[in-house]
Amino acid sequence: MLKVITNITGATTDFGFKGINGNFNRTNLLFFNQEIPSEIKFTRLDSGESVMVDYNPQDIKANPRQPQLFQKIMQGLATGDEVKGGLESCGKKLGLRRFFRQC
């Protein structure tokens, strides 16, 4: 999970991007074993506002057509509607409807 959070936020423990000219330092921003009522808590550095998240990837069911769609995509045979339809069904499960309307 650490690598996923680091890839999303850029935050690290004691490794990673040290910043540019004293700005944008992403090190020492991850903390573990904290007393919070969720799995993960994201806190903005500028405002102090935060959101807590519990993540369970097993709650996201795969599209039963995924193997066939993936094969068609890799072979360059998938239509735009097939690609978009697969993304939309995944996005709806993740609550990303607004994002996929913009695609």
| Domain chopping of the chain, boundaries | 1-55, 59-101
The model's pLDDT over 33-79, given as tens digits with 9 standing for 90+, comes to: 999 999 899 999 899 999 998 877 777 777 787 788 888 878 888 88
Q: pTM for the whole thing?
A: 0.53
3-class SS at 4? helix
Task: Work out the pLDDT band at 8, boundaries 50, 70, 90.
Answer: confident
Q: How far apart are CA 46 and CA 36, in angstroms?
A: 20
% of the chain beyond a pLDDT of 90:
14
Compute CA distances 54 → 1, 37, 40, 42, 51, whole Å.
12, 9, 6, 11, 10
